[in-house]
A and B are shown apart, each in its own frame.
Chain A
Amino acid sequence: MPIFLPVAGVSVSLFVLLGAGALVGFLSGLFGVGGGFLLTPILIMIGIPATVATASDSCQIVAASSSGVGAHFRFGNVDIKLGGILLLGGLVGGAIGVQLIKVLRSLGSADFFITITYIIVLGSVGSYMFVESLQDLRRGQIVPASSTPARRGGFFSKLPFQMRFPRSGVRHSVFVPFVLCALVGILAAIMGVGGGFIMVPMMVYLLRMPMRVAVGTDLFQILFTCAGITFMQAVTNHTVDLVLALLLAAGSTMGAQIGARLTRVLRGNQMKIILASIVLLVMLKLVVGIVQVPPNLLAQAKGH
């Protein structure tokens, strides 16, 4: 059943849009990732202009993350206090990253730098998570999704402005989540993604947050970030297709519910190993993509 998208100006199958939305929504609810890395290429592949695909993707992430946040909030998985600090850090980091990209573009090495950053970051995060979770599974260690990893003392605990985050069951200096999230924000801006893939492992391994709370809190900050992006894209580029976004959202909100519910069933190390595998697959796809001769030397620019 075809449907005509008003802003994109193309007619596409309704079921393809619902299916694509459901897939990314499922990943979003399960792992707290926005899914932009997957959805934008799918949309371009089905004929949506790249600029509209990117902008509308942000809009559907608002819907999917709202649905995910709602579900996670009921399960007690959203740390609003920490999420607020992460959001601030992410915004500051994002602004720095955008400036950094401008400098790199003027030097003519931005795209090379972005691709290599992508591969290194995804490769390191994915491998670390994969190996660690595999070792846990081999040892037969069961890590419930709600468990808090052992807290580490050392340098972080000596920093000023220590604050307790009861929902996450951790105590940190305000600077720790802020600076770490700013670093993720810089990387996210350079890589042109929401940063969920880096943010969730960072929250689990460095902030020692339980996996489920990390996912819920990440969705919370994604909701605000993408709402801002959606508004700016609508005003500046006029490229948000609301019909496209709502159809994707219809699929993704359902997918997000299933994903969020699955976090109650899966154990922490099982979730980590699945997320690690997806991260590694994305990295592998990137490696193949840059080594293989492209089908065409021209690709529609979607902006950065």
Chain B
Amino acid sequence: MNPLKAVVLLWLISPLAAAGLGLKVTPQVVEMGTFYRGAKIQIEYLGEPGAKPVVVIKGSEVSEIFNVKGRAGPIWVNTGKVSISGVPSLYLSMSPQAVSEFLQPEAIEKYMLDLTALKKQIKIEPREMDGDILRTEYLKLKSSENSYRFISDAVKTGEAGQDGVPYVIDLEWPRNAPPGDYEVVVYEFRNGSIAKELHAPLKADRVGFPATMASLAKNRPEIYGVLCVILAVLAGFGMDSLVAALRRKGKSRPEPAEAISGH
């Protein structure tokens, strides 16, 4: 075969092969435009027959500052601030059944596949405020925000073909998930041990007007600050002038009673 033809053929089939044998995330970029209302994500993966896949979507690791409430006599007040880090901003774990049904606790902890495993990763500063209570409260908070979720019946299994078994996950991308880089990881387990691990990037990114505004706020803060004040003042006085004009118009409209009384 002509070497040039061979290169072209290889270039054409390689993405398909990658999609067929590996991991495919659609779309790869969640576009956050002006009227963004969340998105639907489809994750497709071709696995081995009899394997148990666990699909995890992780956000980047962030450090967050929290006020800690504590008792001072009969009342609850903020007793200090803590910085919490070491865990992802978003953590969505999806599996065909509860991971405890096919994995040993050691494997669950190693691949961080439940809240107990995540709890161990949390870092709290200052160290003297670190403790089980705050770690538990943090996980409770993240779960209530839907930022940490464990879905045990999310993986749909297709008919086994020659290349393997197709697994599909249809996911509602959380509307409150912030823009940033995320990672989709597939852990394929066989007989309780890891058989394969696949990674794919997923990005949530501002586009259009939100992207322009966010960039201005970050890169030209002085101009943005002045713009904020000017537009706010204009909006306020503009609305006031509009209302005043409407009122004047309403008053100037001749009404029979007014015309007679001469007001």
Contact = CB atoms under 8 A, between A and B. Distances in A.
Interface of A: 1-7, 9-11, 47, 59-60, 62-71, 74, 108, 111-112, 115, 223, 227, 230-235, 238, 240-243, 245-246, 249-250, 253-254, 256-257, 289-294, 296-301
A111 B66 contact: no
Contacts, number: 190
Nearest to B210: A6
Q: Summarize A's interface: helix, strand, loop or mixed.
A: helix
Contacts of A297: 68-70, 133-134, 137
Interface of B: 32-38, 64-70, 72, 74-82, 84, 133-134, 137-138, 140-141, 144, 175-176, 178-179, 206, 209-214, 217-218, 221-222, 224-229, 231-233, 235-237, 239-241, 243-244
Given A240-B224, A242-B213, A298-B68, A249 B232 contact: yes
Given A298-B66, A300-B66, A3 B232 contact: no
B32 A4 contact: yes
Nearest to B219: A238
B215 to A, nearest CB: 9
A292 B236 contact: no
Contact of B217 (A7, A71, A253): A7
A245 B77 contact: no
A231 B232 contact: no
Given A4-B36, A290-B75, A66 B237 contact: yes
A129 to B, nearest CB: 25
A298 B72 contact: no
B134 to A, nearest CB: 7
Contacts of B37: 2, 11
A282 to B, nearest CB: 16
B214 to A, nearest CB: 4
Given A253-B239, A297-B133, A298-B66, A238 B218 contact: yes
Contacts of B222: 234-235
A120 B137 CA distance: 31
Nearest to A234: B225
B217 A4 contact: no
B157 to A, nearest CB: 32
Nearest to A298: B66
B243 A298 contact: no
